[in-house]
Amino acid sequence: MNAPTDKGVERLAALQGMGESRLRKEDARFIQGKGHYVDDIQLPGQLHMDIVRSPLAHARIKSIDKSAALAMPGVHAVLTANDLKPLKLHWMPTLAGDVAAVLADEKVHFQMQEVAIVIADDRYIAADAAEAVIVDYEELPVVIDPYEALKPEAPVLREDLAGKTSGAHGAREHHNHIFTWTAGDADATAQAFATAPVTVSQHMFYPRVHPCPLETCGCVASFDPIRGELTTYITSQAPHVVRTVVSMLSGIPESKVRIISPDIGGGFGNKVGVYPGYVCAIVASIVLGKPVKWVEDRIENISTTAFARDYHMDGELAATPDGKITALRVKVVADHGAFDACADPTKFPAGLFHICTGSYDIAAAHCEVKGVYTNKAPGGVAYRCSFRVTEAVYLIERMIDVLAQKLGLDKAVIREKNFIRKEQFPYTSAFGFEYDSGDYHTAMKQVLDKAGYPALRAEQAARRADPNATHLMGIGLCTFTEVVGAGPSKMCDILGVGMFDSCEIRIHPTGSAIARMGTITQGQGHQTTYAQIIATELGIGSEVIQVEEGDTSTAPYGLGTYGSRSTPVAGAAIALAARKIHAKARKIAAHLLEVGEADLDWEIDRFNVKGDASRFKTMKDIAWAAYNNLPAGMEPGLEAVHYYDPPNFTYPFGIYLCVLDIDRATGETQVRRFIALDDCGTRINPMIIEGQIHGGLTEGFAVAMGQQMPFDAQGNLLGNTLMDYFLPTAVETPKWETDHTVTPSPHHPIGAKGVAESPHVGSIPCFANAVIDAFSHTGVTDLTMPFTSYRVWQQLKAHGLALEV
Amino acid sequence: MEVSLDKRYPVAASPAQAWTVLRDVRAVAGCMPGAAITEQLDDTHYKGNVKVKVGPATAAFAGDIEVLSLDEATQRLNLLGKGADRAGSTAAMDLVATVEPGETPGTSVLVGQAKVTVNGKFAQFGGRMMVQVSDMILQQFADNFSATAAAQPVPEAEVAAAQPLPEAETVAAQPVTEPKAA
């Protein structure tokens, strides 16, 4: 390739390709309030659905009286499980191999479970009629604690599974047990622990939280009885998977089901699943022959659609006296709620939790995850992370701090001592993951230098020595490795469909283009960044590349956007589809310039004849020729489709450091500095990366400092409104300092690894480690999130650190 | 959400007067702010409703009341109330109430132990204020109860046994009930 001339530099800039901080194409409509969301869809004759929900967490339904509701003017139908039974739609399969009630069948299993639906002329009538449905319940004993659920005398929660001694993931050992999943080498790990000079163990709880996207879930289902076609607008992160599920459930051929995900106001995992509300709206539309809209309110969203986490974890590390870790052992009791509705790849009921050896070279490891039913809403999705990676990173990053405290080692030093070294990549972990690339030591040094780490520790020591200090100081580190880009279809599938993703690109005669993908943007900026990849690959300006996603009738099949998979999987599909076009374009250019293909050089946006840059054809010239002047025998047109099945996951990493001060009188925590260094491989749009990191850090801050779904003993969810559920605003959010290194993925076509979830995954343990570090001199090794002022103040009191005011 | 209450309220009426009120479920309901008995099914079963506001949550519970026991000898009432609000809340109360003699003649003490369970929206929204609001409602109940009891005719046996009450005092007890009736 010729060195770009001055003119080349201009042409390169004009492309707005990879590496440019191209402004987001989505923002023009979003900041003007011109986004088009599900609730903006208004179809002629559209009816509205509302849901009758259970106030009780566990009860038998004695009777449902819908006569008063049906008598109300404007009410079209009231449906219960008994009405869905003849269609065999009162239960539905979950992505995790279990079944979930669409409408409560004889029993309710969690508070606010769907019991009946009302279809009416408008939303208000539907809501009033929902209140007129009288349900008579007989209360049953409620089980909220998963450890209690596993006791022999615990009430049977899932009577529908009576006598089933095995589930989708092996044997069931108890009536409330779902699965036990293990990974690693139990014997080698036991051996390492038996001979280890030092061991530590720690129990920790990662509370139940909710992704809480600003837009709640909803759909508009429209069945055309004449054509037998079903169109559903839906807030889905995976529209193609929804189409497959809907076709399987309804029996309507997949070719007559069209799923459209319009603009989505945030997903974060909450919009992966297929919820009872969707199924009910679709059934209602089929039954009534009219479009039916259902949109959740906030309370319904937080209470019933997929939660995240709820992991009770026991970690153990074995080490040498100087802090070299030799083994990791983990036991988890996972509270999955009433139905196992996790959205993980089929073979991994605990997702990719076994990435829990983290960034460290640990020879032996074993983990066991036990899934348990309780009287809580189902879900267990990844909240801005790849399949339980947040829990895994929390575990190992907390454990390494526990070990450092036991050995009296510095928390940075112990990490550097155990990091996988740069020359060890590709590195195979004790759990069998093959880490593609990384350079942890360089990144660590960059962060510690930026923070002035030794001075911070000295300040902390001085603060501790002063009994009158008004504030405790905590320094938290989190040096994480993620596993994203699920995934290689030999390992990963959803409902039997491999977790590939896809791209179709068409170049129009005048040189502009349209690209369609199987993913769906929910704030990630795909319309901006995907065009940049194509611009760089094909020499077509980003501005004339339209990116479309979310309509299953036009987009190629893909598994959707979650688990940071868009760039690692669809991004690769885009590059490879573009390269197919590039190869054809070269043939056309050779034909037009009457030279051999080998005599051409590619330069930014054109093919030059080798040695004579004055003879060239631009991609625009080639696009025109593709429709009128082709080599003999060549098919007209310039387009390509690529389905990309990744050979491996990608492994982004980051080094985060948090300094915070805790007011000893009030328990208030002030984040003084937060440095986030991320390495996501090749960077496509630095501005968008920065924005994603800010968003992820802010959500991490929310989880660590305030988000929680507390339940009382009767199963009431005390915290399902935004009065209680913490969403940080600019007022609470700390200032973020971002940094980066670039270690491309060697197996990805453009070396990109994915980034949007790293800041969430990495920041939560970083905040936790910082708060616990502030208490560590008193022997505290663990505290449970969220670190609200009141809870921190209670800890100050408990450890004799509180200052009286 | 479950709240256990254990309360003692002074009553400005004799034990016999107080018991007259307590043994009458309709009268007891009449003392509860926002509550009413709507139907008597048999000797021990009633239907009723109660409206309550706790913080941002308002509920109109309609339900059943069952008198589990009514012991004249010990002046002890045990009743169970269970109700549901159409907007998605349920409530239950297991109440044991007894009348004990007061420290001074002509007074008594209403002793109550109650286990109140609320579920659904009422618990979700109002949970953190349940104890305070329960205290407030019960205080109002006790005030009404005391006034109602004081308005009861003094049983003859008691009149004979007790010192005659000064006129003024009996009269003074009356006005308390009047604003309620107004």
Instruction: Tell me the pLDDT tens digit for each residue of A273-324.
Output: 999 999 999 999 999 999 999 999 999 999 999 999 999 999 999 999 999 9
DSSP count for chain A of H helices, then E strands:
20, 34
**H or E stretch at A336:** strand A325-337
Residues 433-462 of A with CB under 8 A from B: none
Distance CA A651, CA A440 (A): 12
Whether A771 and A759 have beta carbons less than 8 Å apart is answered as: no
Spell out which residues of chain A touch residue B2, defining contact as CB-CB under 8 Å. 712-714
pLDDT band at A221 (very low <50, low <70, confident <90, very high): very high
Whether A480 and A355 have beta carbons less than 8 Å apart is answered as: no
The reported pLDDT for the residue numbered B131 is: 84
For the record, the structure tokens of A573 come out as: 């599909």
Q: For chain A, what percent of residues have pLDDT higher than 70?
A: 99
Residues 6+ apart with CB under 8 A from B57: B89, B121, B122, B124, B125, B126
Structure confidence by residue, pLDDT tens digits, A753-766: 999 999 999 999 99
Task: List, as one string, the DSSP characters of A250-284.
Answer: H---GGGEEEE----S--TTTTSS--HHHHHHHHH
Structure confidence by residue, pLDDT tens digits, A10-59: 999 999 999 999 999 999 999 999 999 999 999 999 999 999 999 999 99
Q: Which of B87, B119, B125 has the CB atom closest to A56's CB atom?
A: B119
Distance CA A12, CA A586 (A): 19
Find the mean pLDDT for residues A245-268.
96
Q: Please tell me which residue in A202, A237, A460, A707 is annotated as part of the active site.
A: A237
3-state secondary structure B79-146: EEEEEEECCCEEEEEEEEEEEEECCCCCCEEEEEEEEEEEEEHHHHHHHHHHHHHHHHHHHHHHHHHH
8 Å CB contact of A714 and B89 = no
Average pLDDT, chain A: 96
Tell me the nearest-neighbour CA distance from B137 into chain A, angstroms: 22
Tens digits of pLDDT across chain B (182 residues) = 888 999 999 999 999 999 999 999 999 999 988 899 999 999 999 999 999 888 777 889 999 999 999 999 999 999 999 999 988 899 999 999 999 999 999 999 999 999 999 999 888 887 778 888 888 888 999 999 999 999 999 876 655 555 544 444 444 434 333 333 33
**H or E stretch at A479:** strand A471-481
The reported pLDDT for the residue numbered B170 is: 43
Nearest to A307 by CA among A720, A729, A767, A696: A720
Q: Please tell me which residue in A212, A342, A356, A385 is annotated as part of the active site.
A: A385
CA Rg value for chain A:
28
Structure confidence by residue, pLDDT tens digits, A451-485: 999 999 999 999 999 999 999 999 999 999 999 99
Whether A370 and A171 have beta carbons less than 8 Å apart is answered as: no
Distance CA B18, CA B27 (A): 11
B109 interfacial to chain A (CB closer than 8 Å):
no
Distance CA A219, CA A273 (A): 13
For residue A385, indicate whether it is catalytic. Answer: yes
pLDDT band at A4 (very low <50, low <70, confident <90, very high): low
pLDDT band at A584 (very low <50, low <70, confident <90, very high): very high
For residue A757, indicate whether it is catalytic. Answer: yes
Q: ipTM strictly over 0.85? A: no
B58 interfacial to chain A (CB closer than 8 Å):
no
Distance CA B90, CA A773 (A): 44
CATH 3.90.1170.50 fits A38-140+216-264+271-304, yes or no: yes
Spell out which residues of chain A touch residue B121, defining contact as CB-CB under 8 Å. 55
Q: Which of B87, B90, B119 has the CB atom closest to A131's CB atom?
A: B87
Distance CA A456, CA A674 (A): 13
Return the domain boundaries, chain A.
Answer: 6-35+501-644, 38-140+216-264+271-304, 308-486+649-798
Distance CA A630, CA A632 (A): 6
Nearest to A168 by CA among A385, A356, A346, A403: A346
Chosen from B115, B118, B119, B121 to mutate, greatest number of chain A CBs within 10 A: B119
The CATH classification number of A6-35+501-644 equals 3.30.365.10
Q: Which of B2, B88, B128 has the CB atom closest to A55's CB atom?
A: B88
Nearest to B123 by CA among B97, B165, B87: B87
Find the mean pLDDT for residues A595-605.
97
Q: What are phi and psi of A277, to 5 degrees?
A: -60, -40
8 Å CB contact of B124 and A717 = yes
Q: What are phi and psi of A753, to 5 degrees?
A: -115, -15
Which burial class, exposed, middle or buried, applies to A130 when counting CB atoms under 10 A from its CB (0-12, 13-18, 19+)? Answer: buried
Structure confidence by residue, pLDDT tens digits, A116-159: 999 999 999 999 999 999 999 999 999 999 999 999 999 999 99
A231 interfacial to chain B (CB closer than 8 Å):
no
Domains A38-140+216-264+271-304 and A308-486+649-798 share a fold: no
Q: Which of B2, B119, B128 has the CB atom closest to A55's CB atom?
A: B119
For the record, the structure tokens of A259 come out as: 């799923």
Structure confidence by residue, pLDDT tens digits, A64-106: 999 999 999 999 999 999 999 999 999 999 999 999 999 999 9
Edge-first strand order for the sheet with B108-120 is: B2-11, B108-120, B89-101, B76-85, B57-71, B45-54, B35-40
Distance CA A674, CA A659 (A): 6
Distance CA A510, CA A721 (A): 52
Return the domain boundaries, chain B.
Answer: 2-170
For residue A421, indicate whether it is catalytic. Answer: no
More confident residue, A563 or A363: A363
B71 interfacial to chain A (CB closer than 8 Å):
no
Beta-carbon count within 10 A of A374 CB: 28
The reported pLDDT for the residue numbered A272 is: 93
* CATH architecture for residues B2-170: 2-Layer Sandwich (3.30)
The reported pLDDT for the residue numbered B174 is: 40
* CATH architecture for residues A308-486+649-798: 2-Layer Sandwich (3.30)
The reported pLDDT for the residue numbered A108 is: 98
Whether A157 and A175 have beta carbons less than 8 Å apart is answered as: yes
Whether A246 and A252 have beta carbons less than 8 Å apart is answered as: yes
Find the mean pLDDT for residues A206-226.
97
8 Å CB contact of A717 and B121 = no
